[in-house]
Amino acid sequence: MRISGITPSGHPQLGNYLGAISRWAAEGGPSDLYFVSDLHGMTTTHNPAGLRSRTSEMLAVLIASGIAPERVFVQSDLARELGALTWILECTCSYGEAARMIQFKEKAGGRSGVRLSLLTYPVLMAADILLQGADEVPVGEDQQQHVELTRALARRFNSTYGEVFAVPEAVLPLTGARVRDLADPTRKMSKSARDAAGVVFVLDEPDLVRRKIRRAVTDAETVPAYDPERRPGVSNLLEILAACSGTTPREEAERHGSYGALKAAVAEAVVETLRPIRERTLELLADPAELEQVRKAGAARAADRGEHRLSSALRLIGAG
């Protein structure tokens, strides 16, 4: 069983959709279980109401994109179970192990007022994985160290207290296109980017999408060509167009004789790709009953799946 999470650290953007969510929704997608990891969105200063609404939005986008509702849940709906398991795993983890995490060093480095949860969130991530009994976790390079920690904690718990947890393996995710920021094509597009000018959000109105694409940074040439190293801006547009159209960037370069024509084609392709997702997401958000139902059922299934592991772990470690 495979599990993947996505943190509502911002509004879902085109790169999340083309690179991940559209794959998740496809037949034989990379995981069996997808969750909105809202608890992971609290490790730095956050706005509670904003987090809550981004969580609903992310869940709605996952469903609207075609991921089967029975594969989806929201992490905080399991806050009690995950809180308990995180504590057990923290009692299985050394301080040094957590402090060695590269992500922690990068994000905490030199700052004051760093939340303790920024240090311990990889242990919560271990709880996410181990509670559900996942044996494979599709993750990018930046999360591999956290899966290594998860493996170490699962093994240590099993050998110290008794066999409870499957030891999961990190597997390379099936990735789609890598989408770059339209205003700064040296950076990837991110939902948590501070400047949204170059970020197309899944819920942006079509005219706003067109405007952002029209203003995309290119270069001093006039005829499109695919050369990601030297011409990252125009190559990004070609990649986006290819991902939306099921073609290749080189084919698209041949098809469009000017930057203006290319941008117009990219804008229409993106608007049309996002249209059904956007419309369905807005419908789901307008009538929360359906989403509430999905959340409740998802939470019940996820809690059931983990119940025996959590109660065994509590008993074996000497509690309950």
**Within a 10 A sphere around the Cβ of 264, how many other Cβ atoms?**
15
For the question of residue 263 being annotated catalytic, the response is: no
Cα 61 to chain centroid, rounded: 12
Residue 179 sits in the site that holds ligand ATP (CB under 6 A): yes
Kindly name the residue from 105, 191, 212, 296 that is annotated as catalytic.
191
Residue 258 sits in the site that holds ligand ATP (CB under 6 A): no
Sequence-separated (6 or more) residues with CB below 8 Å from residue 309: 85, 130, 131, 133, 164, 165
Residue bearing tokens 């592991």: 309
For the question of residue 212 being annotated catalytic, the response is: no
Sequence-separated (6 or more) residues with CB below 8 Å from residue 279: 64
Residue 192 sits in the site that holds ligand ATP (CB under 6 A): yes
Residue 191 sits in the site that holds ligand ATP (CB under 6 A): yes
Residues forming beta bridges with residue 188, ordered by sequence position: 180
Chain positions 117 to 176 lying near ligand ATP, rule: CB under 6 A, are 140
Give whichever of 5 and 224 is closer to ligand ATP, judged by the CB atom. 5
Give whichever of 149 and 199 is closer to ligand ATP, judged by the CB atom. 199
Residue 178 sits in the site that holds ligand ATP (CB under 6 A): yes
Residue 19 sits in the site that holds ligand ATP (CB under 6 A): yes
13 burial type by CB count under 10 A (0-12 exposed, 13-18 middle, 19+ buried): buried
Residue 22 sits in the site that holds ligand ATP (CB under 6 A): no
Q: Is the CB of residue 67 less than 8 Å from the CB of residue 24?
A: yes
Give whichever of 192 and 293 is closer to ligand ATP, judged by the CB atom. 192
Give whichever of 10 and 233 is closer to ligand ATP, judged by the CB atom. 10
Q: What is the number of helices (H) and of strands (E) in the chain?
A: 13, 5
Ranked by CB distance to ligand ATP, the top (closest) residue is: 19
240 burial type by CB count under 10 A (0-12 exposed, 13-18 middle, 19+ buried): buried
**Which three-class secondary structure state does DSSP give residue 137?**
strand
Quote the CA–CA distance of 169 and 130 in Å, as a whole number: 11
Figure out which of the listed residues 2, 3, 11, 15 binds ligand ATP, where binding follows CB under 6 A.
15
Figure out which of the listed residues 2, 3, 11, 16 binds ligand ATP, where binding follows CB under 6 A.
16
Quote the CA–CA distance of 34 and 46 in Å, as a whole number: 23
Kindly name the residue from 105, 188, 212, 263 that is annotated as catalytic.
188
**In whole angstroms, how close is the CB of 49 to ligand ATP at the nearest point?**
19
**In whole angstroms, how close is the CB of 300 to ligand ATP at the nearest point?**
26
For the question of residue 107 being annotated catalytic, the response is: yes
The footprint of ligand ATP (CB under 6 A) covers: 6-7, 9-10, 13, 15-16, 19-20, 140, 177-179, 188-192
Active-site annotation, residues: 107, 188, 191
